[in-house]
Amino acid sequence: MKNIITLIALIGLSATSFSQKKLSKIIEKDDVAKLEKYIEKNDGQLDQLILIASEDGLEESFSPLMIALLDSSQSIIQYFLNHLDLFENKSHVISEVFIHSLSEKENPLSQQLFDLGANPNDSCGACWNNNALMVAAVYGNEEWFFKLKDSADFAYTNINGRNLAHIAASSPSSRIGRWVFSNKNVDINLKDDNGETPLDAAVWNEENPKMVTYLLKEGAMISEAKNLLQAWPFNPSEEIFYDNLIFNRRADVWKEDEDGSIPLLWTLVPEEAGDYKIQQLGLFKRILDMMMGPEQAAELKKFQNENIFIFNSMKDFLSICELRGDYSYSVKIYADFVKLCAISEVNSEFRVLTKKNYKKAVELFGEEAVQEIYSDNELWYP
């Protein structure tokens, strides 16, 4: 699923200074006695932020209380809550940890922090600067969502320019989704910093495909979305990708994503274990047929995508054909895919089909059939 909100974890992270490393280690071990000694040694002072560096060089700063929450150091958490004067900006520290705590339903810490004065309309740096309502929404925490909704700032957008509708579109909770999308104070067609609307988020929602229907019912505009069909290979739910939506967004089959790829190529990617599924061929054919249709002739003529070679998409395609069998059926799909590859080669002057691709195709479909397909597309073959 495409994450709308991802909470920061401490896996692979480390404090950057010696002093902060020591404090971080004390928190990780949940050792209150050593924490008290550390504070005493520092004249009763506590580092307000701990700078954390990840293995890829990115840095984030978190309060010691947030570090304790991420480490699940319960004793340290309670110590800090009993000594809030250690924090110069205790209101924000409490609010940030409260917001993060809402990612876990029935977390007793949430009520404790709320009673201490946490501000739901503050933001949490450990969760993409989302506020409390957003975190409760995306995790389906209905209890806290509906407890906080009356005091919410509906105009608020997070670090990526997403509003509550974007976040709720990824929620597992239909109740939260329907409430948000029907609220006239929430713009359900707002574009975030990447040009994506809540519909762009909803099509990735594997837990609750009904979010697309709820949004459309309340007036979300299909035409305003950025690239709905990008999600189709990853979340091929018929409840989301029904005929009318596919037809209205048919131009998306040509749109490249941030990886420079198109939906067609993603249909061929194996699972994490390297396994293919027969069903992949059906979706591949459906998208390929759309691309090869007469009304797409102008787009087809100028098509080019080097990821066919980089991803070795033809290898994946032939592997799925081999898994499925019935080569008299799949050779027709192969012919169209070769035609698409040939057009890409002409337009990009970049060879996308390899000798291994050719040999594998001959093994499956026979040399005569493959040579004829190559000749029809003016391709060289060994």
| 136 inside domain | no
- The whole-number average pLDDT for the span 45-60 is 75
Is the pLDDT score of 13 beyond 50? no
DSSP tag of 50 = E
- Written as one string, the DSSP assignment of 55-112 is TTS-EEEE-HHHHHHHTT-HHHHHHHHH-GGG-TTHHHHHHHHHHHHTTSTT-HHHHH
Beta bridge pairs of residue 61: 51
pLDDT at 10: 43
pLDDT at 12: 43
DSSP tag of 260 = S
Structural domain total, the chain: 3
- pLDDT single digits (tens) 205-244: 999 999 999 999 999 999 999 999 999 999 999 999 999 9
pLDDT at 116: 97
Is the pLDDT score of 162 beyond 50? yes
Same domain membership, residue 98 and residue 169: no
Short-list 207, 208, 245, 206, CA closest to 227? 245
Tokens (6 digits) for 369: 């059939």
Backbone angles phi, psi at 327, to 5 degrees: -70, -20
- Which CATH number belongs to the domain containing residue 210 in this structure? 1.25.40.20
Give the end of a domain, one of 254, 275, 296.
254
Same domain membership, residue 107 and residue 16: yes
Same domain membership, residue 273 and residue 335: yes
Query: How confident is residue 351, by pLDDT bands cut at 50, 70 and 90?
Result: confident
| 144 inside domain | no
Cβ neighbours for 109, distance < 8 A, ≥ 6 positions apart: 69, 77, 97, 101
pLDDT at 272: 85
State what percent of residues in the chain have pLDDT above 90: 85
Query: How confident is residue 59, by pLDDT bands cut at 50, 70 and 90?
Result: confident
Instruction: Decide: residue 272, CB within 10 A, 0-12 exposed, 13-18 middle, 19+ buried.
Output: exposed
> Diameter of the chain by CA atoms?
85
Coil/strand/helix, residue 14 = strand
| 141 inside domain | no
- pLDDT single digits (tens) 311-347: 999 999 999 999 999 999 999 999 999 999 999 999 9
pLDDT at 112: 98
Same domain membership, residue 347 and residue 292: yes
| 140 inside domain | no
Query: How confident is residue 9, by pLDDT bands cut at 50, 70 and 90?
Result: very low
- Length of the chain in terms of residues written: 382
CA atoms within 13 A on the CB side of 39: 19
Same domain membership, residue 204 and residue 301: no
Provide the residue type at 282 as one letter.
Answer: G
Give the end of a domain, one of 222, 254, 286.
254
Place of tokens 């890409």: 344
| 175 inside domain | yes
Q: CA 60, 62, 67 angle in degrees (round to 5)?
A: 120
What is d(CA 133, CA 318) in angstroms, rounded to the nearest whole number? 47
Q: CA 287, 188, 260 angle in degrees (round to 5)?
A: 35
Same domain membership, residue 341 and residue 245: no
Which range of residues forms the domain containing residue 73?
A: 1-128
Same domain membership, residue 229 and residue 263: no
Short-list 126, 201, 191, CA closest to 171? 201
| 98 inside domain | yes
Same domain membership, residue 54 and residue 41: yes
Same domain membership, residue 269 and residue 243: no
- pLDDT single digits (tens) 258-293: 999 999 999 999 988 889 999 999 999 999 999 999
Same domain membership, residue 121 and residue 89: yes
Element (H, E) at 13: strand 13-15
| 196 inside domain | yes
**Verdict on whether the full-model pTM lies above 0.85:** yes
pLDDT at 273: 85
Same domain membership, residue 263 and residue 222: no
Task: Tell me which of 134 and 3 has the higher pLDDT.
Answer: 134
| 146 inside domain | no
Same domain membership, residue 165 and residue 91: no
pLDDT at 252: 98
Give the end of a domain, one of 113, 128, 143.
128
- Written as one string, the DSSP assignment of 184-253 is TTS-TT---TTS--HHHHHTT-SS-THHHHHHHHTT--GGG-S-GGGGTTTS--TTTS-HHHHHHTGGGG
What is d(CA 174, CA 2) in angstroms, rounded to the nearest whole number? 18
Q: CA 75, 77, 17 angle in degrees (round to 5)?
A: 105
Is the pLDDT score of 55 beyond 70? no
